[in-house]
Amino acid sequence: MPFSDYKTALVTGASTGMGAAIVERFCREGLEVHALARNAERLKELAERTGCIPHAIDVCDLAAVTRLTEQVPFDIVVNNAGVSRKGSILDASVEDVDVQVEVNLQAVLHIVRLTMPGMVARDRGHIVNISSIAAIYNFGGNSIYHATKAGIHALSRQLRVDATGKRVRVTEICPGRVATDIFGHVHGDIEAARKQFIDGFELPLPSDIADAIAFAIAAPLAVNISNMEILPTLQVPGGLTTIKRD
């Protein structure tokens, strides 16, 4: 179904990084794009640059999100907002668990609950869930993040079952390392994290992720691109560790 068959889009986590790039890409396609994020100043700048409609809303503010979804029948929903905390479950705090479950999984469930029934009723719609290679592969640390993104992976597949017989498509995007500031937010020092995780690496840009999403949405009606793993060419996930104890 080409972009011309859709009119409205909702993008969460829209103020920076992949979210902002997705907003920009959708606006170029002529959609009415509603950009949702907490940072009002960055949303204002994004709106001035792209023409999107900004909503300075916390994705976990269920009352505000509910009001928005009641006002606008969204044809496309991109669940992009997410948080991560470093460390394994062995040293996780109560807040580490609660905030990641609330933002990464619970908020997505509510947004889908609020928007997908309308898509099914109209026999038209596309849900894009941004998960992570952490949903599929295991690597050290970030245990809670892995668990929440695995939940999004399972949800994305289940949604297609829930919409059986309707032209409602679901795409899961599983990015590897992308050149964004997420590592700085995790580690608390954006500049130091950029030097450690971004500078000197050949990485996909946020615009590359936005283009991949646009490709999935622009596919013919009979085509549902259900899952994309998007990694740097020089990044390989997986591995095997065997510990020998004396």
The residues annotated as belonging to the active site are 145
Tell me the backbone φ, ψ of residue 239, rounded to 5 degrees.
Answer: 140, 170
**Token pair listed for 5:** 């068959």
- Helices and strands: H and E segment counts in the chain: 9, 7
Q: Return the H-helix or E-strand segment holding 153.
A: helix 143-162
Helix axes 40-50, 17-28, angle to 10 degrees: 30
DSSP states along 80-136:
-------S-GGG--HHHHHHHIIIIIIHHHHHHHHHHHHHHHHT-EEEEEE--GGGT
**Token pair listed for 58:** 């916390």
Measured between alpha carbons, how far apart are the two ends of the chain, in Å? 60
Q: Looking up tokens 């001035």, which residue turns up?
A: 48
